[in-house]
Amino acid sequence: MTADHSNQLTGAEAMVRMLQAYQVTHMFGLCGDTSLPFYDALIRYDHGITHYLTRDERHAAYMADGYARVSGKPGICEGPSGGGATYILPGVVEANESSIPILAITTDISTTARGRYPLTELDQTALFHPLTKWNLSIDDAARLPSAVRAAFRAMTTGRPGAAHLALPFDTQKAPVDQTEIWAEERHTTYPAEPAAPLTDAIIEAADILVGAKSTIVICGGGPVIAGAFDEIRQLAELLDIPIATTVSGQGIIAETSDHALGVIGSNGGVPSTRTAVDEADVVVFVGCRAGSVTTERWRSPKPGTTIIHIDSDPMVIGANYSSAVAICADAKLAAAALVAELESRGPLPGQRGRERAKTAWTRKLADFGPLAESAETPIRPERVVAVLARYLEDDGIITADPGTPCPYLSAHYRWRKSGRNFITNRAHGALGYALAAAVGAHAARPDVKTVAVMGDGSFGFCCGEYETITRYRMPITSIVFSNSAYGWIKAGQNSGFGKRFYNVEFDRTDHAAVASAFGVRSWRVEHPDDLDRVLIEALAHDGPTLVDVISQPLHEAAAPVSEWVA
C-alpha cells in the first residue's frame, strides 16, 4: 500500500482500503462517469485486487455470484449510476435468493444534486431494498468504513445473502479518517458465526430417526454452502439412509456413493427418485426450502409424512410442511450434532438406504443408457451429457443455464466427487447466467477446467462476454444447445397448451462463427459421432473454446421434467 502522509483519505480511497482489509482479491464491474474517483483510487493504490472489466453490469453480478460459490468468500461487483444500477439488479437478486453473499457497489450522483433532475438520478436504496439482505447509501463519508463492515457482516452471517452500497460522487471525494479502516476478519468468508442447534431438538430428531423404517434426507443448497460434506456422508452411513438433493444441493455427496439417490423434483427428478421420496416414512430437509420444484408442487413428500427440517433461516421451516422437529441452525453443525447423538446410542438398525438408492439409479440408468448412445440427429442432449462426463475431470466445474442444460445435467451428469462443482441459477432462472458464472468460477479456481453450458436463447443474452473471456485468456469451454427456440416455453406449450406454439422460435445462429469473431476457438457439431473428438480437443485447448451442438428441441425430447412427461 502506498504510504499515506496524513490521517485523511478520500471516500474512494477509503472504499479501496476497506475492500483490501476484507481480503478482497477479485472484483467484477464496468466503468461510468460517477465511478471516476473510485477508479482513480483503484489505479493509484497497490491493493492486490484484480478488477475484471465486463461488458455489462448484469454479468458482473453473475461473475461475483459464481466467484462466491466457488471461493467461499463474498463476491464483489460494481457499476455506475442510472442504467448501471438497474442492469446489475438481476445478478444481485439471484445471489440473494440463492443465499450467496455478493456486494454490489454502485456509484451515484452527488447528494447535493438530488432533486435537481441530474442525469442518471434514481433512488438506489429504494431500488435495491426488496432485492438485498442489507442496503445503504453512504451519504456521509465518515460512515463509509462502518457501512462496509455492516455490509460484510450482513452478507456472511445467518442466512448469507447480497448487500448493496450506493457511493455518491461527493462521498467519494470527501475526507475519511484512515484510523477507521479496519475489518472484522471473521466476516471475510462465509458462513460466518454459524448457529449451533438446540440440544433438545437434536435429541427429538434422533428419537424419530431411530424408530423410522425408511428415512430419506433431502439436501438443498444450504449444506453445500455450510460445507457439511463429511457430516451428511456420516449420517447416511450411520443409519444406512439415502441422500437425495435438489439441483442446488448437488455436490453434497458424490453421486457414485452407495447412498446417493441423485436429484429429485420436477426438474431433474425421474419416476424412480420420486417413488423413493413417496415411500419414505420420515423426510429430513437440510438447508432446503421445500419449494415447488423440489416437492413436485408440494405433492412429494406426501402429506402426513413425518418431517424433520434443518435450516439456518427460521422463516423457511414450516413454510410448506408441518415439521415434527424444527432445527434452526447451520447445516454442518446440526448434522454433526445429530451424528454425535446417534453414535452415542450404540448400534442402530439400518434402513436399506443402499438398496433403495441402487434401485432408483438402476431404473434411471436403464432409461438413460439408450438415449446416451443414440445416433439420432439432431443430437440428443443425453448424448452430449454422456460425452462430457466421459472427458471432464472429476474436479471440473460446470455452470449451467436454465432451459435445456439444467434438467439434463441435473438428472444425468453423475458427479464422482463431493464439492461445489455444479453451479446453476435456481432462484430466478434468468437466461444468460452460465457464461458469466463460469468467469467468476474460473477466477476463483483457475487450476481446474470450467465448462459453461447454455441454450441458444441464453447465448443471445451473454455473447458479448466472449470478448471478456478472450481478453483475459480464460480457458473456459462453452457448449451451446442449438435448437432455434426458447425451448422450455415451447415444451410447456407442447404439453399443456395443445401444441399451440406462439412466439417462441427464432432463426438459427451460427454460434461458432459469432464466438470465432471474438477470438474463441469454435466448432459446430451436427452428428453425434463427432462429439467425442471435438469435446476432447475443446477441453484440452489452452484458451477459450465453444462447441455449437445442433440439438434436439426440448418439446420433442425425453427431458426429465415431470410436467412434460405427465
DSSP state of 556: G
Q: Is residue 274 located within the same domain as residue 311?
A: yes
Q: Please name the residues in contact with 446: beta carbons below 8 A apart, sequence gap of 6 or more.
A: none
Contact 84, 30 (CB under 8 A): yes
What's the pLDDT tens digit per position in 488-542? 999 999 999 999 999 999 999 999 999 999 999 999 999 999 999 999 999 999 9
The phi and psi torsions of 299 (rounded to 5 degrees) equal: -105, -15
338 and 410 share one domain? no
- Neighbouring residues of 202: CB distance < 8 A, sequence distance ≥ 6: 327, 334, 337, 338, 341
pLDDT of residue 440: 98
Final residue belonging to a domain, choices 152, 187, 222: 187
CA distance 67 to 423: 10
Q: Are residues 247 and 286 in the same domain?
A: yes
Q: Is residue 3 one of the residues assigned to a domain?
A: no
Q: Do 539 and 391 belong to one domain?
A: yes
Cell numbers found for residue 512: 461458432
The reply to whether 177 and 272 lie within a common domain is no
What Å distances lie between residue 410 and 47, 113, 167, 265, 385, CA to CA?
Answer: 40, 50, 40, 10, 10
Average pLDDT value for the chain? 96
Strands 134-137 and 75-79 turn out to be unpaired
Q: How many CB atoms lie within 10 A of CB 180?
A: 18
Together in a domain, 104 and 52: yes
CA angle centred on 246, ends 243 and 301, rounded to 5°: 75
Name residues whose C-beta falls within 8 Å of residue 135's C-beta, 6 or more positions apart in sequence. Answer: 125, 128, 129, 163, 164, 165
| pLDDT (0 to 100) of residue 304 | 92
> What mean pLDDT is predicted for residues 382-392?
98
Given a cut of 60, whether residue 352 has pLDDT beyond it is yes
Are 97 and 70 contacting, i.e. CB atoms less than 8 angstroms apart?
A: no
Give the helix ranges, DSSP H, for 416-486. Answer: 434-444, 456-462, 465-471
Q: Is the pLDDT of residue 1 over 80?
A: no
- Cell 459469432, located at residue: 514
Among 439, 455, 472, CA closest to 384: 455
Please say if the pLDDT value at position 566 is more than 80.
no
Residue located via cell numbers 421434467? 561
| Structural contact between residues 431 and 458, judged by C-beta atoms closer than 8 angstroms | yes
Strand order across the beta sheet in which 260-263 lies: 260-263, 243-245, 215-219, 282-286, 306-311, 325-328
pLDDT of residue 144: 98
Sheet holding 102-108, edge to edge: 50-53, 26-29, 75-79, 102-108, 163-168, 134-137
Q: Do residues 167 and 292 share a domain? A: no
Query: CA 141, 143, 148: angle at the middle one, nearest 5?
Result: 105
Instruction: Tell me: pLDDT of 185 over 50.
Output: yes
H or E element, residue 544? none
Q: Tell me the sheet residues that pair with 453.
A: 400, 479
pLDDT in tens, 221-265: 999 999 999 999 999 999 999 999 999 999 999 999 999 999 999
Instruction: Determine, yes or no, domain membership for 364.
Output: no
Residues 341 and 382 in one domain: no
Residue 194 is assigned to a structural domain of this protein: no
Name the band, by pLDDT with cuts 50, 70 and 90, for residue 563.
Answer: confident
Residue 4 reports pLDDT greater than 50: no
Cα separation, 514 vs 454, in Å, equals: 15
Q: In this structure, what CATH number is given to the domain that contains residue 328?
A: 3.40.50.1220
Which whole number is the average pLDDT over 182-198? 98
For residue 469, the one-letter residue type is I
For the entire predicted model, the pTM comes to: 0.97
Cβ proximity of 401 and 423 under 8 Å: no
In a domain, residue 363? The reply is no
Confidence at 3, pLDDT banded by 50, 70, 90: very low
Query: In the numeric block, which cell numbers belong to residue 142?
Result: 465518515
The single residue listed with the C-alpha cell 450482513 is 154
Could you give the number of structural domains in the chain?
3
489 domain residue, yes or no = yes
Q: What is the mean pLDDT of residues 67-89?
A: 98
∠ Cα 273 427 404 (to 5°): 60
Beta strand 397-400 with 450-455 is parallel
The one-letter amino acid code at 105 reads I
Same domain, 132 and 13: yes
Question: CA gyration radius for the chain?
Answer: 24
Cell triple for residue 430? 434468468
Mean pLDDT of 382-411: 96
367 within domain boundaries: no
Q: What is the CATH number of the domain that holds 378?
A: 3.40.50.970
Grid cell 428415512 in the structure block, residue: 215
Q: Specify the pLDDT at position 403.
A: 87
**Which of 356, 383, 412 is where one domain is finished?**
356
Considering the domain boundaries, does residue 439 fall inside one? yes
Domain end (from 356, 388, 413):
356
Q: Which residues pair with 244 in a beta bridge?
A: 218, 262
Contacts 24+ apart (CB under 8 A), 271-275: 271/363, 271/565, 272/359, 272/360, 272/361, 272/362, 272/363, 272/364, 273/244, 273/360, 273/364, 274/300, 274/562, 275/360
Number of alpha helices (DSSP H) and beta strands (DSSP E) in the chain: 23, 20
Torsion 51-55-60-62 (CA) sign:
negative
Same-domain pairing of 377 and 520: yes
Question: Does residue 5 have a pLDDT over 60?
Answer: no
243 and 295 inside one domain: yes
- Residue 404 to residue 380: CA distance in whole angstroms: 11
Distances (CA, A) of 419 to 25, 335, 443, 537: 22, 17, 17, 26
Question: pLDDT tens digits for 44-55?
Answer: 999 999 999 999
The C-alpha cell at 69 is 460459490
Flag whether 91 is in a domain.
yes
217 and 129 together in one domain:
no
* Residue 2 pLDDT exceeds 90: no
Range of the domain at 278: 199-356
